[in-house]
Amino acid sequence: MDITENKKERIKELVTTLNEASKAYYQESKEIMSNYTYDALYDELVALEKETGIILSNSPTVKVGYEIISQLPKETHEKPMLSLDKTKSVDELAAFLKDKEGVLSWKLDGLTVVLTYENGALTKAVTRGNGRVGEIITPNAKVFKNVPLSVPFKGKLVIRGEAIIKYSDFERINNEIEDVESKYKNPRNLCSGSVRQLNSEVTAKRSVNFFAFSLVLCEGKDFNASVCNQFDFLEELGFDVVEHFSVTKDTVPKTVEYFANKIETYDLPSDGLVLVFNDYIYGESLGSTAKFPRSGLAFKWKDETAETRLVKIEWSASRTGLINPVAVFEPVELEGTTVSRASVHNVSVLESLKLGYGDTISVYKANMIIPQIAVNLTQSKTVEVPSVCPVCGGETKIVKENESKVLYCTNPLCQAKNIKKFAHFVSRDAMNIEGLSEETLEKFVDSGYVHEYADIYKLDRFKDEIVTAKGFGEKSYVNYIAAINKSRNASVPAFINALGIANVGVVAAKIIAKYYDYDTEKLVNPNREELSLIDGIGPVIASSYEEYMTDFKNREEILNLLKELNLTKPEESNELQSLAGMIFVITGDVYKFANRNELKKFIEDRGGKVVASVSSKTTYLINNDVNSSSNKNKKAKELGIKIIDEDTFLTLV
């Protein structure tokens, strides 16, 4: 076979591989390869197609998406939704504008949705789908956290935006899932499944947000051919829009640097930036290729990679028995920080990387945040999957879950399961016993002081041993006992959450406790059918809860524990709705509150609303740097919105 034939075969192989990855990602909400690997294979395919002139009909370079397989109603888009061409070069991004003005914004990583408003009311919501045909999800869009159901514009309005789940909400949702294997992999997958639910009630519980990024149609409205004017109009209507800046080719690099600095702490999932011509009439006049409109260009972060040497694979056990591989390598600098560890996720990924001790590996930070192994350059394949648990020495078993191999410890008495179980019990959202770290608990378990939950409240039996043990002392002991005694008065919901019942997290614990009126006698004698009918519980949680409470060993442990506790009913919030009807925007650092989320909750508890962008509807912009030249401050001043600091805000309250 000659070189040309080799290249033909490689093109076929790349097309098949990339299409399988796209299908898994867009239709099944699964990831079978990293973004880094996909981009590398895609770039290789583009180069081969250009070199050979061979472009297959199903190539991802000319084909947009896949057919939809869901049961939701489908609709053909009036205008095909083409993908943007992409670059990883800041110079290419700047050169794209030539002498024109552009608008640079986040490229959010969620699910694209098209909203239609008629006579001021939201009448239709459709997903992007394959670019030509989308799924109708109107009932679900109506329960997105920040989508206006009606707007002060009576003409027909069609906008495109990204439905996303914020990292903070993603972590909260995952923290409420006790079963490690049931946790969601990333915000994008969770959002995709949430938006396409057949039951909008499920969507409502997932905290989906919508950020507008394009105005498709606005009957009778003149924007002077300016994308920036369109964004301003959408904000005035009450929409959150993607953060954006007006740029020229000279200011593109500095603006990209701003986004690059922000992404490490940005709460919205993003996989790059989007640059479009501000003059949208000019942009549309440029037309499009078979796949890409010429009016815009996507910028994907060029991952900083570093070569290093794999030192070892650590196997980390959890309280469910799942054992995950973690790569430990010689420290390297990435994106301004030193990294030396990266999750390998599961046995399937370990095998695909063909990892071996001493191998030269290339590592990067996915989206500039999460350390990952990009490629293994030597592939010695000497790492073996352990046949025994690294914690208890019990037999391990490889199980196939969601088409991936995962490793489990089969020993029900594994210390790791117990230690993780006790660590959850004492955690902040559970019994909140300060000072009892996982390391300390491990020592207490190994020493035989703690066998069940109630034993934590009897540690005073081992005062002499604890005080004289290495690393402890009288002061440590006194602090432990004080924190333990304080936790005896925990709330009933915290107690339920502390038990670590599968599928029963913070929210479910609160709902169940309230349903049973905080009566522990009723709580330990539940009825599955009764529980499953409670709003927010359902059959899965009800089943887990009843099975846990009716297990003989669990009941015995709970009854012993209850003898040590004086559980309390949580206080009801009686906050006056002093901020009802007011709309706030928060920007900059906060000092009176732990973080912006705490300030946001403070406002919402008092009837106020917090939005992301300043508009004519904003009541106050909260910024401790009242005189800053930030975009939000400028916008507030233009609209006559009062800018206040935290002290003024608290005086207002």
Q: What is the pLDDT of residue 68?
A: 41
Q: Which of 322, 327, 104, 347 is nearest to 213 (CA)?
A: 104
Report how far Cα 381 is from the mean position of its chain's Cα atoms: 33
Residue 442, Cβ neighbours under 10 Å: how many? 18
Q: Is the pLDDT of residue 366 over 70?
A: no
Count of alpha carbons within 13 angstroms of residue 422, beta-carbon side: 26
Structure tokens at 288: 């499009």
Q: Which runs of E-coded beta strand occur in 156-295?
A: 157-164, 209-218, 244-247, 270-277
Residue 533, Cβ neighbours under 10 Å: how many? 12
Q: What is the pLDDT of residue 319?
A: 61
Asked whether 289 and 125 are in contact (CB, 8 A), the reply is no
Q: Is the pLDDT of residue 572 over 60?
A: no
Residue 387, Cβ neighbours under 10 Å: how many? 10
- Which comes out higher in pLDDT, residue 317 or 494? 494
- Residues in a beta bridge with 270: 108
Structure tokens at 465: 């041993």
Q: What is the pLDDT of residue 182?
A: 57
Structure tokens at 516: 């049973």
Task: Indicate the pTM of the whole model.
Answer: 0.50
Q: Is the pLDDT of residue 64 over 60?
A: no
Tell me what the mean pLDDT of segment 65-76 comes to: 60
Cα–Cα separations (whole angstroms), residue 403 to 194, 317, 602 = 22, 21, 44
Q: Is the pLDDT of residue 458 over 90?
A: yes
Q: Which of 161, 152, 154, 112 is nearest to 134 (CA)?
A: 112
- Mean confidence (pLDDT) of the chain: 85
CA 143/CA 146 separation, integer angstroms? 8
Q: Is the pLDDT of residue 643 over 90?
A: yes
- Which comes out higher in pLDDT, residue 495 or 597? 495
Asked whether 140 and 125 are in contact (CB, 8 A), the reply is yes
CA 417/CA 317 separation, integer angstroms? 8
- Name every residue whose Cβ is closer than 8 Å to that of residue 187 and which is 6 or more positions away in sequence: 109, 110, 164, 165, 166, 167, 169, 170, 269
pLDDT digit string, tens, across residues 474-507: 888 899 999 999 999 999 999 999 998 887 877 6
Q: Is the pLDDT of residue 205 over 60?
A: yes
Cα–Cα separations (whole angstroms), residue 370 to 24, 496, 546 = 21, 33, 38
Q: What is the pLDDT of residue 258?
A: 92
Of 240-244, 363-367, 567-571, the range with the lowest mean pLDDT is 363-367
CA 600/CA 592 separation, integer angstroms? 12
CA 87/CA 107 separation, integer angstroms? 13
- The helix/strand/coil state of 376 is strand
pLDDT digit string, tens, across residues 223-269: 999 999 999 999 888 888 999 999 999 999 999 999 988 887 889 99
pLDDT digit string, tens, across residues 123-173: 999 999 878 888 899 988 888 888 888 888 889 999 999 999 998 888 888
Q: Is the pLDDT of residue 67 over 50?
A: no
Report how far Cα 465 is from the mean position of its chain's Cα atoms: 44
Structure tokens at 278: 């501000």
Asked whether 621 and 585 are in contact (CB, 8 A), the reply is yes
CA 216/CA 220 separation, integer angstroms? 13
Q: What is the pLDDT of residue 531?
A: 87
Cα–Cα separations (whole angstroms), residue 195 to 11, 72, 269, 330, 574 = 35, 11, 16, 42, 34
Q: Is the pLDDT of residue 21 over 90?
A: no
Structure tokens at 133: 């045909």
Tell me what the mean pLDDT of segment 401-420 comes to: 79
Highest mean pLDDT among 106-120, 177-191, 407-421: 106-120
Structure tokens at 125: 């919501």
Structure tokens at 475: 């002061």
- Which comes out higher in pLDDT, residue 3 or 449? 449
Residue 466, Cβ neighbours under 10 Å: how many? 22
Asked whether 235 and 161 are in contact (CB, 8 A), the reply is no
Q: Write down the catalytic residue from 107, 365, 417, 420.
A: 107
CA 548/CA 342 separation, integer angstroms? 35
- Is 107 an active-site residue? yes
DSSP string, 38-90: HHHHHHHHHHHHHHH----TT-TTT-------SSS-EEE-SS--PPPPEES-H
DSSP-derived letter for residue 460 is G
**Which amino acid would we find at residue 521?**
E
Q: Is the pLDDT of residue 70 over 60?
A: no
Q: What is the pLDDT of residue 576?
A: 61
Cα–Cα separations (whole angstroms), residue 551 to 320, 521, 547, 554 = 17, 16, 6, 5
Q: What is the pLDDT of residue 71?
A: 58
Q: Which of 543, 552, 547, 563 is nearest to 453 (CA)?
A: 563
Asked whether 574 and 605 are in contact (CB, 8 A), the reply is no
- Which comes out higher in pLDDT, residue 513 or 413? 513
Count of alpha carbons within 13 angstroms of residue 139, beta-carbon side: 10
With cut-offs at 50, 70 and 90, classify the pLDDT of residue 15: confident
With cut-offs at 50, 70 and 90, classify the pLDDT of residue 57: low
Q: What is the pLDDT of residue 69?
A: 37
Q: Which of 220, 221, 192 is nearest to 206 (CA)?
A: 192
Asked whether 541 and 179 are in contact (CB, 8 A), the reply is no
CA 329/CA 326 separation, integer angstroms? 10
Strands 620-622 and 642-644: parallel
Q: What is the pLDDT of residue 320?
A: 67
- Which comes out higher in pLDDT, residue 116 or 120? 116
pLDDT digit string, tens, across residues 371-402: 889 899 999 999 999 999 887 888 999 988 76
CA 220/CA 199 separation, integer angstroms? 36
Q: Is the pLDDT of residue 603 over 70?
A: yes
CA 407/CA 333 separation, integer angstroms? 31
CA 366/CA 89 separation, integer angstroms? 17
- Which comes out higher in pLDDT, residue 417 or 103? 103
Q: Computed over its alpha carbons, how large is the radius of gyration of the chain?
A: 28
